[in-house]
Amino acid sequence: MAPIPDDVTARAAQLTALLERYNHEYYVLDAPTVPDAEYDRLFRELQALEAAWPALRTPASPTQRVGGTPVPVFESVRHAVPMLSLNNAFSDLTQDDFAVRHAEIIQFDERVRRGLGRSDSPVRYAVEPKFDGLAISLVYEHGVLTQAATRGDGLTGENVTENVRTVRTVPLRLATSQPPALLEVRGEVLMLRRDFEALNAAQAARGDKVFANPRNAAAGSLRQLDSRITAQRRLSFFAYAIARVEGATWPDTHQYEMQWLEQLGLPLVVPALRPVVEGVEGLAEYYERVHAQRSTLPYDIDGVVYKVDSLADQARLGFVSRAPRWAIAHKFPAEEALTVVDAIEEQVGRTGALTPVARLRPVAVGGVTVTNATLHNEDEVHRKDVRVGDTVIVRRAGDVIPEVVGVVLERRPMQPVAGGDLFSPSEVPLHPPYRIPATCPVCGSHVVREEGEAVARCSGGLVCSAQRKQAILHFAGRRAMDIEGLGERYVDALVDLGFVHSVADLYHLTLADFVAMKARSDETASPLAEAEVPGAASSSRTAPTRWAENLLAGIAASKTPPLARFLFALGIRHVGESTAKTLADWLGSLERVRQAPAPILAALPDIGLVVAEAIAEFFAEPNNAAAIDALLAAGVRPQGEGLPAAALAEQLEPARLLTRMGIPRLTELRAGQLLAQAGSLEALVTLAPEQLPVAWPEPLRLAWREWLAQPERRALLAATAHQRSALLAALPAMPDVSANLPLAGRTLVLTGTLPTLTREAAQALIEAAGGKVSGSVSRKTDYVVAGEAAGSKLAKAESLGVPVLDEAGLQALLAGTMAGGEAAS
DNA sequence: ACGCCTCGAGTTCT
DNA sequence: CTCGAGGCGT
């Protein structure tokens, strides 16, 4: 290749420098000094030079902001310094008292001052808005941007360098003649509100999908595999931290860090929004000020961030389970909005539960458009007195789920009443108070509400198509049989068109069935029509069976589930994952679970009479028995341990079993006396009245005789005795050794996202080590394992003094090398 | 009998 | 995540 003439190299360098300066003036300083046309002219000149001499085209060239070749997939990038998330503090602005309103600020400041051993002098804090965008890490080597990565799980992110290069405010080269050998900057990529609106307008005009909020638009744009698309989207960047410096002096306060970054040409938020303040009053004042300004800012924020300004002090404070002790995110309270209830409809759940749902006029709350909100149950609707036509206050509670806070009664639609006078109102509400319907909206069966229960249920059982669909969906669910690809759309179509009546039918479906189903659902324009991929109109001839093959493969692959998951999949009332696991662990086979009478089941840990009877009734019900037999006949083989648990003998002590028969006033002590008289469970049936224990008072003797009088109870007693013997005979010869495992008898709670383990993987490891994973923190919790974005459970652990571990701590515990955890402050 | 704790069930939107 | 309800220890 011909060498590049010196004058060309010089001109290219000159153009690059000019374009970089104009870029910075335009996008970062918002103060252009040249007309756009001049910029475009220089830009095209540089492009032309680069076209003639491609060697000039470096990654740092301003021409490279237009995006390059699409990548098949983002490669992953390991962060040299982990990208942490901050602990959260929440505010409740409904309180007036300063101490109450700013309790989180006061607590944070106290923790900081305690940690620094500084009781009187106020701490200096660098404060800034908490952007609602995507955290990004930028690496500059000798002043040139060489890598940009998303946060990912904090340890490993995605390499999005090509995309970030197209973000106009990100300098491709640092504005200094003596750049550090290495500089890693952390900041946020986001979309300004005006850019978001323009983008959505353009998307809508083109008939493309619009984004729900700027955050989603930014995320969607940044994660484009084709960076040319990213280049067309107006993304912005704000820097807020330095992660690594080599070959330069690291400033000693956060404030100086920011000043340095600004000198290097990195965009920062306007100075007024990032002051250094002192003490609690300074933090509170800043919080109030930004909160008040929130809606007028050019971008979305979801709170503010407080950081101890001195880096030496930051170092002294250190970290608790991967979140810094010297910084905290203070979130604004949930946003509320007003909207109108168009209708109240009922959803029918798997158990037949009718749940009233408010259909709302679409309204934006906290970044998403809300159209539905659950009203939980009839009582709840009455408590809030929500009616059709009402204007209601909607909030996104905690983080996601929309909630109707209350009704604005002044706006309730009314109608005049004839003959109204001083003593009777002249108008009444247009709509009556809500009533749960008397019949199921799906199948018309009557609706029953048990005495003392909050939920109303459709009595139709599996006759009700809604219940059937939900039962099948539950059966196929990820935590149950895990049939891949069988989602709501297919279940709806399969049931509506009569291809599937019960779960066993799934295993008899053929390719021909699916093709027929597809044909019929196309005719009837059922929801399946929407399942087609864009442009599938022509491909429905060419590859009509691909999805069906996948589905059939998914169904076939689900034939050998672990017993616990199979039991859970059956959808027995009161039997969730945990109870299903108890049954599987203790009894070891489907047959033993099916045959166990209620008292045996109630002898197992955490299973009482209510649950035991629900299980026994489920298996006794002929329809259910037939459905299970059909599954077995179709080749479904739940995988059990084969043997009951060795410790079962203790659970099945005859006196214990007797107390679980549902006999009134029979305590364990009295059951023991009774057994001493009879000699064995079997002999109880024939025990003569005069042989009852002498210590028994007359009412008890009467209660016993009355209970035993019914034949089915004598049968239950006999069946229980029989099953007990059978189970004991099947017990394994060797006692189990689980007591020696490192986490035997320990209860752990997982919260947040762990850096490398998934929640399921962590749970599996803990259980393999003999421990138990629970969902909520209490005094009985031995450890809380906290990851990224840990929430209320971490806070609760700290308030109860429960030790908090990070993933490394958990691994140490699993290895049995650690006696205790790192205690939280 | 009471109260704590855990589990089950239902839910929204992208 | 939140509520309601069942299980179990006190």
pLDDT on residue A63: 76
| The nucleotide closest to A401 (CA, C1' atoms) | B12
* pLDDT tier for residue A720 given thresholds of 50, 70 and 90: very high
The answer to whether A792 CB is within 7 Å of strand B is: no
A440 annotated as ligand-binding: yes
Stretch A794-817: mean pLDDT, rounded?
78
Q: C7 C1' – A608 CA distance, angstroms?
A: 6
A307 annotated as ligand-binding: yes
- Which has more confidence, A245 or A224? A245
Q: Is the pLDDT of residue A666 over 60?
A: yes
Q: C4 C1' – A348 CA distance, angstroms?
A: 18
Percent of chain A topping pLDDT 70: 89
Which residues of A are identified as catalytic? 130
| Number of Cα atoms under 13 Å in the Cβ half of residue A620 | 10
Query: What's the CATH number where A126 sits?
Result: 3.30.470.30
* pLDDT tier for residue A657 given thresholds of 50, 70 and 90: very high
Same domain? For A628 and A653 the reply is: no
Q: Hunting for tokens 């929309």 — which residue is that?
A: A402
Q: Is residue A571 part of a domain?
A: yes
The answer to whether A232 CB is within 7 Å of strand B is: no
| The nucleotide closest to A605 (CA, C1' atoms) | C7
Stretch A322-326: mean pLDDT, rounded?
78
Single-letter residue type at A456: A
A119 annotated as ligand-binding: no
Q: Which two tokens stand for residue A124?
A: 């200096």
Give the pLDDT confidence of A129-185 residue by residue, as tens digits. 999 888 999 999 999 999 999 887 777 788 899 889 999 899 999 999 999 999 999
Q: Using a 7 Å CB cut-off, which residues contact strand C?
A: A 376-377, 379-380, 397-401, 452-455, 574, 602, 605-612, 775-776, 791-793
* pLDDT tier for residue A818 given thresholds of 50, 70 and 90: very low
Same domain? For A319 and A238 the reply is: yes
B strand bases under 7 Å from protein CB: 4-14
Dump strand ranges (E) for A119-199: 124-131, 134-141, 144-150, 156-158, 182-190
A188 annotated as ligand-binding: yes
Range of weakest confidence among A383-392, A468-477, A615-624, A751-760 = A751-760
Sort A188 into a burial class: Cβ within 10 Å, 0-12 / 13-18 / 19+.
buried
- Which has more confidence, A375 or A540? A375
Q: Which of A354, A304, A380, A390 is nearest to A131 (CA)?
A: A304
A37 annotated as ligand-binding: yes
Q: Is the pLDDT of residue A564 over 90?
A: yes
Please tell me the distance from the alpha carbon of residue A591 to that of residue A294, in angstroms, as a whole number.
62
* pLDDT tier for residue A738 given thresholds of 50, 70 and 90: low
Q: B3 C1' – A451 CA distance, angstroms?
A: 23
The answer to whether A212 CB is within 7 Å of strand B is: yes
pLDDT on residue A536: 38
Same domain? For A554 and A671 the reply is: no
Q: In terms of C-beta distances under 8 Å and separation of at least 24 residues, what long-range contacts does A571-580 make, across chains too?
A: A571/A350, A571/A351, A571/A471, A571/A474, A571/A475, A572/A614, A572/A615, A572/A618, A573/A351, A573/A614, A573/A618, A574/A610, A574/A611, A574/A614, A574/A615, A575/A611, A575/A614, A575/A615, A577/A479, A578/A606, A579/A606, A579/A607, A579/A611
The answer to whether A454 CB is within 7 Å of strand B is: no
Query: What's the CATH number where A780 sits?
Result: 3.40.50.10190
Same domain? For A99 and A247 the reply is: yes
Q: B4 C1' – A353 CA distance, angstroms?
A: 27
| The nucleotide closest to A399 (CA, C1' atoms) | C1
| The nucleotide closest to A350 (CA, C1' atoms) | B9
Q: Is the pLDDT of residue A213 over 80?
A: no
Q: B5 C1' – A601 CA distance, angstroms?
A: 21
Give the pLDDT confidence of A303-316 residue by residue, as tens digits. 899 999 999 999 98
Give the pLDDT confidence of A114-130 residue by residue, as tens digits. 888 887 789 999 999 99
Residue whose CA lies closest to nucleotide C3 C1': A376
Q: C3 C1' – A376 CA distance, angstroms?
A: 9
Is the CB of residue A378 less than 8 Å from the CB of residue A386?
no
Range of weakest confidence among A54-58, A218-222, A596-600 = A54-58
Residue whose CA lies closest to nucleotide B12 C1': A401
Maximum CA extent, chain A: 120
Exposure letters A578-612 (e unless 16+ CB within 10 A, then b): ebbbbbbbbbbbbebbbbbbbbbbbbbeebeeebb
Query: What's the CATH number where A29 sits?
Result: 1.10.287.610
Q: Is the pLDDT of residue A516 over 50?
A: yes
Q: Is residue A400 part of a domain?
A: no
Same domain? For A764 and A724 the reply is: no
Is the CB of residue A675 less than 8 Å from the CB of residue A661?
no
**Mean pLDDT taken over chain A:** 84
Q: Is residue A753 part of a domain?
A: yes
pLDDT on residue A98: 66
pLDDT on residue A313: 93
Q: Is residue A295 part of a domain?
A: yes
Same domain? For A258 and A136 the reply is: yes
Same domain? For A706 and A753 the reply is: no
* pLDDT tier for residue A377 given thresholds of 50, 70 and 90: confident
pLDDT on residue A312: 93
- Which has more confidence, A144 or A823? A144
Q: Is residue A144 part of a domain?
A: yes
Stretch A586-601: mean pLDDT, rounded?
95
Please tell me the distance from the alpha carbon of residue A540 to that of residue A382, in angstroms, as a whole number.
50
Q: C8 C1' – A630 CA distance, angstroms?
A: 38
Q: Is residue A133 part of a domain?
A: yes
Q: Is residue A420 part of a domain?
A: no
Stretch A363-374: mean pLDDT, rounded?
82
Instruction: Name the domain boundary from A302, A331, A360.
Output: A331
Percent of chain A topping pLDDT 90: 39
Q: C7 C1' – A607 CA distance, angstroms?
A: 7
| The nucleotide closest to A792 (CA, C1' atoms) | C1
The answer to whether A445 CB is within 7 Å of strand B is: no
Range of the domain at A163: 88-331
Same domain? For A594 and A683 the reply is: no
Is the CB of residue A766 less than 8 Å from the CB of residue A773?
yes
Same domain? For A243 and A310 the reply is: yes
Give the pLDDT confidence of A693-715 residue by residue, as tens digits. 988 888 888 889 999 999 999 99
Query: What's the CATH number where A678 sits?
Result: 1.10.150.20
A458 annotated as ligand-binding: no
Give the pLDDT confidence of A28-40 residue by residue, as tens digits. 676 667 777 777 7
| The nucleotide closest to A611 (CA, C1' atoms) | C6
A40 annotated as ligand-binding: yes
The total domain count for chain A is: 5
Residue whose CA lies closest to nucleotide B5 C1': A778
pLDDT on residue A531: 40
Q: B1 C1' – A663 CA distance, angstroms?
A: 19
Give the pLDDT confidence of A400-423 residue by residue, as tens digits. 678 888 888 889 999 988 766 667
Same domain? For A280 and A201 the reply is: yes
Same domain? For A28 and A152 the reply is: no
Please tell me the distance from the alpha carbon of residue A454 to that of residue A376, in angstroms, as a whole number.
9
A675 annotated as ligand-binding: no
Instruction: Name the domain boundary from A593, A608, A634.
Output: A634
Spatial neighbors of A284 by CB under 8 A, at least 6 apart, are A98, A102, A105
Q: Is the pLDDT of residue A534 over 80?
A: no
pLDDT on residue A187: 94
Q: Which two tokens stand for residue A113?
A: 């001052």
Q: Is residue A569 part of a domain?
A: yes
Range of weakest confidence among A197-211, A263-277, A493-507 = A197-211
Q: Is the pLDDT of residue A25 over 50?
A: yes
SS (H, E, C) A670-708: HHHHHHHHHCCHHHHCCCCHHHCCCCCCHHHHHHHHHHH
| The nucleotide closest to A578 (CA, C1' atoms) | B7
* pLDDT tier for residue A88 given thresholds of 50, 70 and 90: low
Instruction: Name the domain boundary from A676, A698, A730.
Output: A730
* pLDDT tier for residue A540 given thresholds of 50, 70 and 90: very low
- Which has more confidence, A516 or A68? A516
Range of weakest confidence among A15-24, A357-366, A596-605, A637-646 = A15-24
- Which has more confidence, A73 or A125? A125
* pLDDT tier for residue A633 given thresholds of 50, 70 and 90: very high
Contacting residues 329-368/A vs strand B (CB within 7 A): 347, 349-353, 355, 357, 368
Same domain? For A177 and A320 the reply is: yes
C strand bases under 7 Å from protein CB: 1-8
Please tell me the distance from the alpha carbon of residue A771 to that of residue A814, in angstroms, as a whole number.
9
